[in-house]
Amino acid sequence: MMNLVLIGMNHKTAPLDLRERLSISCEEAVHPLREIMKIPKLDGVIYLSTCNRVEVLAQTTHPRETVERLQAFILRHGNLSREELVRCLYVCEDEDAVRHLFRVTSSLDSLVMGEPQIVGQVKEAYRQAVENGTTGIILNKIMHYAFRVAKRVRTETGLAANAVSVSFAAVELAKKIFGDLKGKTVLLIGAGEMSELAARHLVNYGADRILIANRTPARAQQMAEEFHGRAVALEQIEETLREVDIVVSSTGAPGYVITAGMVAAALRRRKNRLLFLVDIAVPRDIDPAAGAIENVFLYNIDNLQGIVDENVRGRMQEAQKAEALVNEEVFRFTRWYNTLAVVPTIVSLKERADGVVRGELDRSSAWMQHLTQEDRNNIEILAGSIVNKILHDPIICLKEESQDYAAIPYVAALRRLFKLEEE
């Protein structure tokens, strides 16, 4: 057993409003890692929170007790009911936990399969864990394997070819609504990575003007210059709604950036021209009530699933190749982990052999006094070499057997034969 547990919820198991609650609750002054590490008998933990998932990977000596305490943590912080927790939460252990992490990092478990953002989000989660001192040898190794398999999937399969993201899915939806994006004016609220991706796709598909509103005006201006657009103040959003055709909002605001009243007022001033609103933020930026207004099309992350499914169908063959790579790396990690069980025995065996060599050399020191220092050194090297050659095959055999969970009887025999159990 690896003593690993992974607990979480994602876009497949939990609706948007539930993920919102958990996302908001975790934006507190004290990082969730610090509170999670207060759980007894934890050897390490990594906490991942994105728009589409919240997951905790933990190494523990008491898996069942740890799962119960992590469930209590999520129940409390997400203000969930017991029924919601049971319905939406999944738990993976040991090899299944490793496989799940590898699939997540490789974007096989993403809302948009093949999207590149998730590996950066996992790296950020790992960085925070390292900074908070919540990783160790095992979790560090797991993460290195995860990043390696993500790279292999990206370079050895076509899963990420013409990679899409939630932003791209939103642009695809805009194309279906308007037919053509040429001459359209776009307002991007938020100037983060998601908005930048949306801007890039929109420009590629012919959008005429890009307006950017952001909490930090300097960043909005920088992005506006990059896309030959114009920065607007957040306070001007209501007024700006009158002149735009498409709004893509992705901020970290705790409340609505666009209310139903703002949309209704804009529609009256724009002679009821179609207004396409895409809310890809968690928590949501746009009041859901705005979607009920005539000539307004409002979509959130969960609404994009249809477009995402079309993309996924076209990638299933490449996904199968990616799954094979994930399974290969899970096998490699498991094989590495299993060798850890025999390492103490190998170390003890070598130490016992070295002790025998040193003892015999000490007892032979009297008759070796007439030898030169060089000759004495050569004898020590020869003795050590003989011992290493004798132990080489047993050690190799022990490592090979450990890869298939078959090393236990060999370990027991070696420890008894060489009296290593006394140590």
Cis preceding linkage at 283, omega within 30: yes
In angstroms, rounded to a whole number, what is the distance separating the alpha carbons of residues 106 and 153? 6
Other CB atoms within 10 A of residue 145 CB: 19
Other CB atoms within 10 A of residue 419 CB: 10
| Catalytic residue numbers, as ranges | 51
SS3 state of residue 157: coil
In angstroms, rounded to a whole number, what is the distance separating the alpha carbons of residues 116 and 136? 27
In angstroms, rounded to a whole number, what is the distance separating the alpha carbons of residues 240 and 209? 12
In angstroms, rounded to a whole number, what is the distance separating the alpha carbons of residues 109 and 376? 63
Other CB atoms within 10 A of residue 411 CB: 18
Phi, psi for 296 (deg, rounded to 5): -115, 130
Other CB atoms within 10 A of residue 365 CB: 9
CA atoms within 13 A on the CB side of 111: 27
SS3 state of residue 54: strand
DSSP state of 258: B
Given a contact cutoff of 8 angstroms between Cβ atoms, the answer to whether 280 and 246 are in contact is no
If we measure between CA atoms, which residue out of 262, 301, 62 comes closest to residue 167?
301
Could you list the beta-strand ranges (E) of 169-217: 185-189, 209-213
